[in-house]
A and B are shown apart, each in its own frame.
Chain A
Amino acid sequence: MSEYVEHSADNQGEHHDEHPGYGTFIRVWVALLILTGCLVGASHLGQTYAVWGLLTLTPLKAGLVFYYFMHLRYEGPLFKVVVLVTLGTLLIFFALLFSDVAFR
């Protein structure tokens, strides 16, 4: 397929200024494995540790995948805002549900 591709300078520039190498992602993967190990370990220590592990380590793992593997770190502010607005919306629904449950 031969085609002439036209790029505007800012179209490329916003994203691909710096390409991270293999090492960055392998280090993130190692961190994810360690965090998984901590999560499993915490779940063996008792209910309180398990819940705290769930509430802290899991979002941390998800954050690492979003930030590095999904390249959010290398994107402009728009993508981050889109994700944060979504998470904020879910949090509001969560809070509304539990404010209802708590005061029955």
Chain B
Amino acid sequence: MSGHVHRDDFGSRLGMWLFLVTEMVLFGGLFIGYSYMRFKYPAEFHHGGSELNATLGVINTLVLLTSSLTVVLAIVAIQRAQKKLAMAFLSSTLVLGVTFLVIKSFEWAAKFHHGLYPNSAHLATLPPGEQVFFGLYFTMTGLHGLHVIAGLSVLGVMLWWVATDRIRQDRYIHLENGGLYWHLVDVIWIFLLPLFYLAA
């Protein structure tokens, strides 16, 4: 290395956006599948939605929206060289992300307790439309949950890099891209809330 590093922040962000676009298509396909199934089984989806805990869904929405805010505030703090503040904001995001997963696990545990889980004997006795509803519910919230775990892992590394000055006022593209991923996870949840939890 000649000590001369080429850097292209614009290209980095463009690459991240292109990746995010593939994520949008991935979830978009599921959303289109959902809309067709809801069109086909309106009563069953309405009934399925009434089985979900809307309060937990709304609380988790508030948790994720706030976690998105703290990521973007961490970027503002880094731009102003307020390292400790940036670390506090990022830590808040991590705590909120874990809170989301804990609430989600309680919600899923309650469903399992009622015999509602993929391929369960109870699920097989329900009408086809409700089986489809719960199939989509577990697929979409499960895939979203995996994205939350991935996002938390990425942001955990970002916190480490802020702490060790690898991310700093003049170089924070990694934090921006990690934040972009987290916001997309938030956007997907914004759609999941009305499609499942408020469907009744």
Contacts and interface: CB of A to CB of B under 8 A. Distances in A.
A33 B28 contact: no
B8 A11 contact: yes
B4 interface: yes
B73 interface: yes
B122 interface: no
Nearest to B24: A86
B79 interface: yes
Could you tell me the dominant secondary structure of chain A's interface residues?
Answer: helix
B8 A101 contact: no
A36 B62 contact: yes
B191 A62 contact: yes
B58 A36 contact: yes
A101 to B, nearest CB: 6
Interface residues of B, number: 53
B10 A26 contact: no
Given A36-B65, A89-B25, A15 B18 contact: no
Contact of A94 (B35, B58, B69): B35
Contacts of B180: 70-71
Contacts of A94: 32, 35
Given A50-B198, A54-B198, A65-B183, A82 B4 contact: no
A86 B25 contact: yes
A5 B194 contact: no
B5 A54 contact: no
A12 B9 contact: yes
B194 A4 contact: no
Given A15-B10, A86-B21, A89-B25, A4 B79 contact: no
Nearest to A72: B17
A54 B186 CA distance: 16
Contacts of B25: 86, 89-90
Given A5-B171, A36-B193, A66-B187, 10 more contacts: A3-B3, A6-B5, A29-B68, A43-B198, A54-B194, A58-B191, A66-B183, A69-B186, A98-B35, A101-B36
Interface of B: 3-10, 13-14, 17-18, 21, 24-25, 28-29, 31-32, 35-36, 39, 46, 54, 58, 61-62, 65-66, 68-69, 71-73, 76, 79, 166, 170-171, 176, 179-180, 183-184, 186-187, 190-191, 193-195, 198-199
